[in-house]
Amino acid sequence: MTLPNPADAPLLLTDDDVLQRVEQLVGPAAAARQLWIMFVDGDGRQSPVIVPISDIPLRPELRVIDDLAAGLRDLCAQLSTEVGGGSVVFTLERLGRDAVLAGDRQWAAALEQACHRAGASLRGVYLSTSGGVHRIPPP
């Protein structure tokens, strides 16, 4: 499968667009525990920078969420356009059951909180397991 060049890829205008992009870029889980961060500009264009963070803990740690919020504030502000502000997409990757587990929900809530604190728009938190990719519903 050829992965899209973000500059040439279709805009991410809907939740389905974002899900398809996560499926293309992350796909079914191959790593034990990893967090992927993807940025989208105010026009809906994916940034060429995708950040994978390996070996994340089972439960989110306050220090990690604090650092993430600080970084998101600056990055999303740089992605603002005349149309809107920058936004972020998170994907939790883990091997194992396809069901959304308690730890997945804790991560999703912590990531949402980091976005709120940073004033960054959240386009969604997704879960990549051995069975594929799906969105973690908001709390």
The pLDDT tens digits for 68-89 are: 999 898 888 888 899 988 999 9
For the cut 90, the answer to whether the pLDDT of residue 49 exceeds it is no
For the cut 50, the answer to whether the pLDDT of residue 43 exceeds it is yes
Helix spans in 1-139 (H): 15-25, 62-78, 102-118
The pLDDT value given to residue 75: 85
Residue appearing with tokens 């504030």: 73
For the cut 90, the answer to whether the pLDDT of residue 54 exceeds it is yes
The pLDDT value given to residue 7: 67
Helix/strand/coil for 83? coil
For the cut 70, the answer to whether the pLDDT of residue 1 exceeds it is no
The pLDDT value given to residue 2: 47
Query: How far is 23 from 20, CA to CA, in rounded Å?
Result: 5
Q: At what angle do helices 62-78 and 102-118 cross, to 10 degrees?
A: 50
